[in-house]
Amino acid sequence: MSATTIVSLPDQATAQMPKRSYLNNEHGLLSWLLTADHKRIGMLYLLSITFFFFIGGAFAGLIRLELLTPQPDLVASDTYNKFFTMHGIVMIFLFLVPSVPATLGNFLLPIMIGAKDLAFPKINLLSWYLYMAGGIFTLASLVLGGVDTGWTFTTPLSTHYLNTHVLTTATAIFIAGFSSIFTGLNFIVTIHRMRAPGMTWFRMPLFCWSQYAASLLMVLGTPVLAIAIVLLALERLFGIGVFDPAKGGDPLLFQHLFWFYSHPAVYIMILPGMGVISEVISTFTRKRVFGYTAVAFSSVAIALFGFFVWAHHMFIMGVSNYSALVFSLLTMLVAVPSAIKIFNWAFTMQKGSITFETPMLYAFGFIGLFTIGGLTGIFLGSLGMDVHLTETYFVVAHFHFVMVGGMLMAFLAGIHFWWPKLTGRMYPESLSKLAAVVTFIGFNLTFLPQFVVGYLGMPRRYHAYPAEYQVLNVLSTAGATILGVGYMLPILYLGWSLKYGAIAGNNPWQATGLEWQIQSPPLTENFLETPIITHEAYDYEWLEEKMKLEKQEVTHVG
Amino acid sequence: MGISPVLWQFLVNWLHSSALFPTEASTIAPYTDALYFFLIGMTIFGVVLVGALVTVFSLKYRREKHPVAVQIEGSTLLEATWTIIPLAIFLVTFVWGALLYFRIYNPPANSMNIYVVGKQWMWKAEHPGGQHEINALHIPIGQPVQLTMISQDVFHSFSIPDFRVKREVIPGRYTTVWFQATQTGKFHIFCTQYCGTLHSGMIGEVTAMTPADYQKWLSESTSGMSLAQNGERLFASLGCIQCHSGNAASRGPNLAGVYGSKLTLTNGQQVTVNDAYLRDAILNPSEHVTAGFSPIMPTYQGQVSEDGLIDLVEYIKNMQSNYRVHQTLMTSDSDKAAPTTPTTGTTQER
Ligand code: HEM
Ligand SMILES: [Cu+2]
């Protein structure tokens, strides 16, 4: 199939705010706290994860400030250890894991497949309460004096040697885990059972495919984390000895259990972001995503392979040489679907008609940073290289390139892209472009030097370091300052736009997704009548036809 | 430019004293660096390629130049290309990395052994001659050195970046790492596994010296007793000697020359006697019963420190005959001393 498409932006001037929408359907705090509307729950999540992001960010700032000088001079060592522990726990469990699925996924997934809501609206609300309970336990452990296990909870340090609030924090993560299990279940059932007539699997937007793959991981992986946490608590409370060599236990068992979840968890974090990128790139190139099927299947492939590479976190821990070989090989294989996606996105631009609005800039940021993050993952998957690099700042740089450079960029791309749909208003374009560029520059300045200092050998989680590493650390701290500005800007102008932003209209980007064919912000019931789908995802000809028809109707009526 | 000379001087000094690339101070380092440069090449190639595609398409197909998008389904040929080429490159790095890994973790047969015990928050090295050092390690250059390491508490990790080697130090089991230093000098030792409050204080220094200087250092730092001699005393005081006397009628197996041999256990398992086996057999005897013996040996779990265990291992390792065992037994028999039951107090804490 090869055809031409012209799409032009609608007249913003005539767009009006709809009288009725999910936002003003009901009033009062309770109507939000007891809502079963997936859109309102998505907004609740958006507020709460933003709150936790800034808590996590504050700790990042403190970490970087301490590392400005080689001496351990800003805070005591225990305090520093609590900083990076809190930073990791908040960012991973309370920001990254729920980020795209619980906010944009919640809001958009039902609409994209033409459903009125998720399969289990009340369980969806329960998920949010569980998330908040997890958050409150985390804050409690912070207020009570903190915890210094690191987000990896390594035994026997966490079970026998620390007297901080390990159990409170473990409870937090245990509870928050159920929040993501329920979200995952809800998504899986919704995608299987609630698609509108005509919405076949291969007509779904790629965003839905990536949410589906991530949901599989959440449902299958998170229970293992729960088990690991329960065993950890029993070991700490009663000394049952599963991880204690003196009692015949195996100290490596905890590592296996923990990474069996936490490795797939990195794909829980990145897959939904990849879904966002597919939507954004298609929309701003006005083109179908190149090789739709390959991109869809690569999400599923990542989810499947993702379960069989966990021991690549343990190459120097004395796993047998042969299992190290197998896990290294599988790690190489899991990198391939990501490479496929990158090239498919790049080639989606070929022969497109490209514009460069803010979401597209963030998507470019994603592609660049995720490419570096992914390729440096190959360094770490390569056995002999990993020996030198593991547990150093090289690893810190690698996962920040993937998680912050990749996922956070994708999250911001998605937030800007769907902001008109979420709120009915546009964000200010030039300010947001500035923020995207500032973020990109700040990010690289923060984390590129960490690759170098990591190869020099600087270990992660170090409160003090040899003086010869200072230059690189100062660069990194300077970059973090710029990055901080890049993250503050969206908060300010997005807040501003809630009241003063231009009215968006239904489809400001001329995008093809079902969510763009309904009013912004949507009605509580999403669709007045169940849509019947007769076209594929990213079908810009269908969109053009539809718009022609609508124009005729308008002129007719007028 | 308005930059003040003082500031300039400061900047120059600062940059001068800061490294951007670690010293290559071991035989392994050049191999690791070769792979590193290959991987950097791969990364640059990948980033430039993706960057070029995005830039060229952005310029060529931007709205002003290309107002009408042409829909394209995909291309099996292109997609196969960008599946197979990355896969091939990744497989090359897999094989290369695996070869390097085996080089790093398989010590040459002629390496000398030093023991390292990690604990919150210090490294203790024990040379076979009985020299002890804290947060320091003296080694000769030009000779393979193997470290046999264990932790007394939590996970630690022993890392010497300038040698490009690192290994987790785990409670309850020996792990090993080896290297051969190629130049004299001082190099950082880091603990790289987060291990609690003073994790970043768990650092030390390797001093690589010429073999002659090393010999000199050894003789100046001796504590008077080698590890094996300490082990011999423990062997007697813990009562091991009563059963492992090497006599035909004794209740335990003869230990002279056992190190390195192959044993069959009562459960049919075949094992090679190495450091780890000896340690496990002392702490957990019931699972390491040599065929033909009954499971009567008591466990010494909690009664011998890791240092004590190292002494015992080193003693058994070097035990070629039972001559001295008999000597000791004869003197103690003449005292009519009852076999001593081991108690916690008998461990030597140093
Ligand atoms: C979405 C945003 C972010 C996420 C998800 C994130 C995630 C993480 C995680 C999981 C760790 C490992 C914690 C550990 O070692 O236990 C970490 C460490 C670290 N992060 Fe972030 N991070 C984010 C943003 C930032 C930013 C903006 C900065 C700098 C301004 C930063 C600086 C650091 C540093 C310096 C460490 C190393 C701590 C250490 O090992 O001593 N992070 N981060
Ligand atoms: Cu340590």
* Mean pLDDT, residues A230-243: 89
Residue B2 is predicted with a pLDDT of: 59
Residue B271 is predicted with a pLDDT of: 86
B62 and A355 within 8 Å at the Cβ level: the answer is yes
3-class secondary-structure state, position B266:
coil
Q: How many angstroms separate the Cα of A278 from the Cα of each of A319, A513, B70?
A: 38, 12, 18
Residue A556 is predicted with a pLDDT of: 53
Residue A329 is predicted with a pLDDT of: 95
- SS3 annotation, B219-254: HHHCCCCCHHHHHHHHHHHCCHHHHCCCCCCCCCCC
For residue B258, what are its two tokens? 């056992």
Q: Which of A118-127, A237-246, B319-328 has the lowest mean pLDDT?
A: B319-328
Please give the share of chain A, as a percent, with pLDDT higher than 90: 81
Which among A367, A465, A471 is the nearest to B200, CB-wise? A465
Residue with the smallest CA separation from ligand 1 atom 39 is A461
Digit-coded pLDDT (tens) for A495-515: 999 999 999 888 999 999 999
Please say if the pLDDT value at position A554 is more than 80. no
Residue with the smallest CA separation from ligand 1 atom 32 is A60
Q: DSSP string covering A79-132, please?
A: HHHHHHHHHHHIIIIIIITTHHIIIIIHHHHHHHTT-SS-S-HHHHHHHHHHHH
For residue A492, what are its two tokens? 């300010």
Minimal CA separation from B129 to chain A, in Å: 28
Name B207's bridge partners. Answer: B138, B186
A121-143 vs A77-89: helix axis angle to the nearest 10? 170
Please say if the pLDDT value at position A116 is more than 70. yes
ipTM of the complex, rounded to two decimals: 0.92
* Mean pLDDT, residues A327-340: 93
Q: Which ligand is nearest to the CA of B200?
A: 2
Q: Closest residue of A to B98, CA-based?
A: A383
Q: How far apart are CA A309 and CA A323, in angstroms?
A: 10
* Spatial contact of A377 and A402, defined as CB atoms under 8 Å apart: yes
On chain A, the residues whose CB falls within 8 A of the CB of B101 are 315, 321, 324, 328, 383-384, 386-387
For residue A40, what are its two tokens? 């309102």
Q: How far apart are CA A491 and CA A487, in angstroms?
A: 7
Please say if the pLDDT value at position A268 is more than 70. yes
- In the chain, the amino acid numbered A378 is I
Residues 1-20 of B with CB under 8 A from A: 14-15, 17-20
On chain A, the residues whose CB falls within 8 A of the CB of B25 are none
Residue B82 is predicted with a pLDDT of: 92
Q: How far apart are CA A156 and CA B97, in angstroms?
A: 30
3-class secondary-structure state, position B314:
helix
Mean pLDDT by 10 residues, chain B (350 residues): 72 70 92 94 96 96 90 87 94 96 92 93 91 94 95 94 95 92 95 94 95 93 83 84 79 82 84 87 84 82 86 87 76 52 42
| Any atom of ligand 1 within 6 Å of the Cβ of A408 | yes
Q: How close is the Cα of A407 to the center of ligand 1, in Å?
A: 13
Query: What is the overall mean pLDDT for chain A?
Result: 92
Please say if the pLDDT value at position A348 is more than 50. yes
Residue A5 is predicted with a pLDDT of: 53
On chain B, the residues whose CB falls within 8 A of the CB of A474 are none
CA A545 to chain centre: 35
Minimal CA separation from B72 to chain A, in Å: 6
Residues 218-237 of B with CB under 8 A from A: none
Minimal CA separation from A186 to chain B, in Å: 32
On chain B, the residues whose CB falls within 8 A of the CB of A461 are 194, 199-200
Q: Which residues have a Cβ under 8 Å from the Cβ of B194 and sit 6 or more positions away?
A: A81, A150, A152, A154, A157, A460, A461
Interface test with A, best of B101, B165, B205 (most A CBs within 10 A): B101
* Spatial contact of A446 and A480, defined as CB atoms under 8 Å apart: yes
* Mean pLDDT, residues A208-213: 95
Residue A8 is predicted with a pLDDT of: 54
Tell whether A165 is within 8 A of chain B (Cβ): no
Residues 52-71 of B with CB under 8 A from A: 53-54, 57-58, 61-63, 66-71
Q: How many angstroms separate the Cα of B79 from the Cα of each of A279, A298, A332, B44, B240?
A: 20, 12, 18, 21, 68
Digit-coded pLDDT (tens) for A25-62: 888 899 999 999 999 999 999 999 999 999 999 999 99
* Spatial contact of A397 and A454, defined as CB atoms under 8 Å apart: yes
Digit-coded pLDDT (tens) for A356-407: 999 999 999 999 999 999 999 999 999 999 999 999 999 999 999 999 999 9
Residue with the larger pLDDT of the pair A127 and B231 = A127
Residue B341 is predicted with a pLDDT of: 46
Please say if the pLDDT value at position A1 is more than 50. no
On chain A, the residues whose CB falls within 8 A of the CB of B21 are 455-456
B74 and A246 within 8 Å at the Cβ level: the answer is no
Tell whether A357 is within 8 A of chain B (Cβ): no
Please say if the pLDDT value at position A12 is more than 80. no
